[in-house]
Amino acid sequence: MKLILVLTVTIKLAIVSATDTEWWKTALIYQIYPRSFKDSDGDGIGDLTGIKEKLPYLKSTGVDGIWLSPIYLSPMRDFGYDITDYKQIAPEYGTMKDFQELLKEARKLGLRVILDFVPNHTSNESDWFIRSARREPGYEDFYVWADGIVDPERPGEVLPPSNWMSHFRKSMWEYHPGRGQYYLHQFAIGQPDLNYRSQRVQAEMKGVLRFWLDLGVSGFRVDVINLLYEVDPKNYGGVFPDEPLSGNSDTDPDDHDHYHHIYTQDLDETYEVAYDWREVLNEYTEKHGEYKMILSEAYTSVLNTIRFYGNESRDGTIPFNFIFLGEINKNSTARDIKTTVDKWMTYMPHNKVANWVNGNHDQSRLASRQGPERGEEIGMTDGHVSWEDTKDPQACNTDDPINYWKKSRDPNRTPYHWDSSVFAGFTCGVAPWLPVADNYKEINLQAQLRTRRSHFNEYWPIQKTF
Ligand X SMILES: *[C@@H]1O[C@H](CO)[C@@H](O)[C@H](O)[C@H]1NC(C)=O
Binding residues for ligand X (CB under 6 A)? 77-78, 81, 118, 124-125, 187-190, 223-224, 271-272, 275, 297, 311-314, 329-331, 360-362
Catalytic option among 64, 116, 290, 297:
297
Neighbouring C-beta atoms of residue 287, cutoff 10 Å: 11
- In 3D, which of 355, 359, 320 has the Cα closest to residue 341? 355
When the beta carbons of 49 and 412 are compared against ligand X, the nearer one is: 412
27 Cα distance to chain centroid = 19
User: Does 193 participate in catalysis according to the annotation?
Assistant: no
| 174: phi then psi, degrees, rounded to nearest 5 | -130, 135
Catalytic option among 78, 193, 223, 266:
223
Q: If contact means CB under 5 to 8 A according to the sort of partner, which of Ca ion, ligand X, none does residue 124 touch?
A: ligand X
Residues 275 and 254: their CA atoms lie apart, in Å, by: 34
Residues 59 and 232: their CA atoms lie apart, in Å, by: 47
User: Does 297 participate in catalysis according to the annotation?
Assistant: yes
Q: How far is the CB of 378 from ligand X (least distance, A)?
A: 21
Residues 193 and 97: their CA atoms lie apart, in Å, by: 30
Question: Three-state DSSP class for 72?
Answer: strand
Q: Which pairs count as long-range contacts for 455-458, CB under 8 Å and 24+ apart, including other chains?
A: 455/372, 455/373, 455/375, 455/377, 455/378, 455/379, 456/377, 456/378
Query: Does residue number 227 form part of the binding site for Ca ion (CB under 5 A)?
Result: yes
Q: If contact means CB under 5 to 8 A according to the sort of partner, which of Ca ion, ligand X, none does residue 43 touch?
A: Ca ion
Q: How far is the CB of 343 from ligand X (least distance, A)?
A: 18
401 Cα distance to chain centroid = 26
Q: If contact means CB under 5 to 8 A according to the sort of partner, which of Ca ion, ligand X, none does residue 250 touch?
A: none
Binding-site size for Ca ion (CB under 5 A) equals: 8
Query: Does residue number 125 form part of the binding site for Ca ion (CB under 5 A)?
Result: no
When the beta carbons of 44 and 192 are compared against ligand X, the nearer one is: 192
Map residues 354-393 to x or -, x wherever contact with Ca ion holds by CB under 5 A.
Answer: ----------------------------------------
Q: Which of 1, 29, 45, 213 binds Ca ion (CB under 5 A)?
A: 45
Q: If contact means CB under 5 to 8 A according to the sort of partner, which of Ca ion, ligand X, none does residue 187 touch?
A: ligand X
Looking at residue 110, its amino acid is: G
Query: Does residue number 193 form part of the binding site for Ca ion (CB under 5 A)?
Result: yes
When the beta carbons of 111 and 325 are compared against ligand X, the nearer one is: 325
Contacts with 317 (C-beta within 8 Å, 6 or more apart), sequence order: 222, 225, 274, 277, 278, 294, 295, 296, 308, 309, 310
- In 3D, which of 96, 19, 110 has the Cα closest to residue 64? 110
- In 3D, which of 264, 70, 33 has the Cα closest to residue 167? 264
When the beta carbons of 186 and 218 are compared against Ca ion, the nearer one is: 186
When the beta carbons of 92 and 376 are compared against Ca ion, the nearer one is: 92
| Residues involved in catalysis | 223, 297
Q: Can you give the binding site for Ca ion, defined by CB under 5 A?
A: 39, 41, 43, 45, 47, 120, 193, 227
